[in-house]
Amino acid sequence: MTQNILAVDDDSKILKILHHTLSKEGFRVSTASSGEEALQLAGKSLPDLVLLDITMPGIDGYETFQRLRAINDMPIIFLTDRTDEIDKVVGFRMGIDDYQTKPFSPTELALRVKAVLRRSGGQIVKSENPLKYGSIVLDYDRRVVKIDNQVVELTPKEFELLWLLASSPNSVFTKAQLLDKVWKSEFYGDDNTVTVHIRKLREKIETDPSKPVFIKTVWGTGYKFEYFA
């Protein structure tokens, strides 16, 4: 079933890019140029995911986010030209699902949308399996990770943790989110489990675990799989 994406931005050029990019990926895309218009559209037809600009005149992205979540617990990705980490921390503490800075790669944005829908239980329109990032390849069906064509032996939980991070490149996950998604809260409150598995993953996939290239720590928040094409 085709999924509905609502893109909200006061920049018409950005809206055109979003509409073109996501329509090509098989989504049905609606656009809104203000928070007020976004709330009207969302109230009439609940979107499966919202791409929401933060800096808009009138009702800004933060307030629009809160009002949208009052309508339905839909996945929401913030769009912004702000690069300060504090803005990302505020957003994740509010409960956003992901954060995309401008300018953005259309390919990366599409991956983020699909990853958020995957995490939220939505149906993925197109498979992104295997995932390829430079020298590293992840094949979910075969549960195989290769670096420079060499198989890396991972435990099931290590693979699930790496796949979750890599399926949403440059997205920050808190330890609580990782516990919930990978361990299904069986170690609720014990975020040391995440720390240990991150350390073991780095030992296996990073050339120098003390200076990780892929799995980065976002201090005060959590971890991310970093990759820029």
Ranges 31-35, 141-145, 163-167, 184-188: which has the least confidence: 184-188
Domain count for the chain, please give it.
2
Q: Cα dihedral sign for 182, 187, 189, 193?
A: negative
The verdict on 11 and 114 lying in the same domain is: yes
Looking at residue 190, what is its pLDDT? 61
Inform me whether the pLDDT recorded for 143 exceeds 50. Answer: yes
Domain boundary among 88, 119, 150: 119
Distance from C-alpha of 73 to C-alpha of 87, rounded to nearest angstrom = 21
**pLDDT higher than threshold 80 for residue 90:** no
Q: Which domain holds residue 216?
A: 131-225
Is 125 domain-assigned?
Answer: no
Determine the distance from the C-alpha atom of residue 13 to the mean position of all C-alpha atoms in its chain, rounded to a whole number: 23
pLDDT > 70: what percent of the chain?
Answer: 90
* CB-based burial label for 220 (10 Å; 0-12, 13-18, 19+): exposed
213: how many CB neighbours lie within 10 A of its CB?
15
CATH code of the domain containing 177: 1.10.10.10
In-domain check, residue 62 = yes
| Domain membership flag for residue 126 | no
Shared domain check, 167 and 207: yes
* Claim to verify: residue 135 and residue 49 sit in the same structural domain: no
Residues 221 and 150 in one domain: yes
- For the entire predicted model, the pTM comes to 0.56
What span, in angstroms and rounded, lies between the C-alpha atoms of 56 and 4? Answer: 22
Distance CA 101, CA 53 (A): 10
- In a 13 Å sphere around the CA of 18, the CA atoms on its Cβ side amount to 30
Whether 21 and 103 map to the same domain: the answer is yes
What percent of the chain has a predicted confidence (pLDDT) above 90? 42
**Given this model, what pLDDT does residue 8 score?**
96
pLDDT of residue 155: 87
**Where are the extended beta strands (E) located within the chain?**
4-8, 28-32, 49-53, 76-80, 98-101, 131-133, 136-139, 144-147, 150-152, 173-174, 215-218, 222-225
Amino acid at 52: L
Are 98 and 143 part of one and the same domain?
Answer: no
Over residues 78-94, mean pLDDT? 76
Q: What is the mean pLDDT of residues 36-58?
A: 90
pLDDT at 49: 93
Task: Say if residue 61 is in the same domain as residue 135.
Answer: no
For residues 112 and 11, membership in a common domain is answered with yes
Closest by CA position to 128, among listed 137, 20, 57: 137
| pLDDT given for residue 126 in this prediction | 40
- Close Cβ partners of 147 (under 8 Å, ≥ 6 residues apart): 135, 136, 137, 205
Residue 122 in this model has a pLDDT that exceeds 70: no
The predicted model gives 122-138 an average pLDDT of: 69
Residue 52 in this model has a pLDDT that exceeds 90: yes
Identify the domain boundary among 119, 142, 158.
119
When pLDDT is cut at 50, 70 and 90, the band that residue 228 belongs to is: confident
The pLDDT of residue 212 is: 94
CATH code of the domain in which 51 resides: 3.40.50.2300
Give residue 203's pLDDT: 96
Instruction: Mark whether 10 and 107 lie in a shared domain.
Output: yes
What does DSSP assign to residue 41? H
